[in-house]
């Protein structure tokens, strides 16, 4: 996760809309269930990164998921 610090900070701010969150190499998107429903998470990821979320994305380690995201073009 350490080498993905910039994309994690962007994801945290723009998708999860949290000031901070603890994550480890074993964290996954499913760990953040309860913050918003799945359709809202899917919408936010698509708007920010152009990626359609699948159940596979929800279960993969967060560091692998972050590797799929392109640097955002929107500010």
- Cβ contact 10:40 at 8 Å: no
CATH code for the domain in which residue 38 is found: 1.10.1200
The answer as to whether 40 is a domain residue is: yes
- Cβ contact 63:25 at 8 Å: yes
Share of the chain above pLDDT 90, in %: 57
The answer as to whether 17 is a domain residue is: yes
The answer as to whether 74 is a domain residue is: no
Structural domain count of the chain: 1
The answer as to whether 73 is a domain residue is: no
* pTM for the whole structure: 0.83
> 8 is written with which tokens?
């994690």
Contacts of 8 (CB under 8 A, 6+ apart): 1, 23, 62, 66
The answer as to whether 59 is a domain residue is: yes
The answer as to whether 50 is a domain residue is: yes
The answer as to whether 43 is a domain residue is: yes
Share of the chain above pLDDT 70, in %: 89
Say if residue 74's pLDDT is above 70.
Answer: no
The answer as to whether 18 is a domain residue is: yes
pLDDT in tens, 5-25: 889 999 999 999 999 998 888
- Cβ contact 4:27 at 8 Å: no
């Amino acid at each position: 996760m350490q080498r993905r610090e910039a994309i994690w900070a962007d994801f945290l701010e723009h998708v999860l809309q949290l000031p901070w969150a603890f994550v480890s190499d074993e964290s996954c998107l499913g760990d953040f269930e309860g913050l918003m429903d799945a359709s809202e998470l899917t919408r936010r990821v698509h708007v920010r990164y152009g990626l359609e979320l699948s159940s596979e994305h929800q279960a993969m380690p967060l560091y692998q998921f972050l590797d799929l995201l392109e640097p955002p073009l929107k500010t």
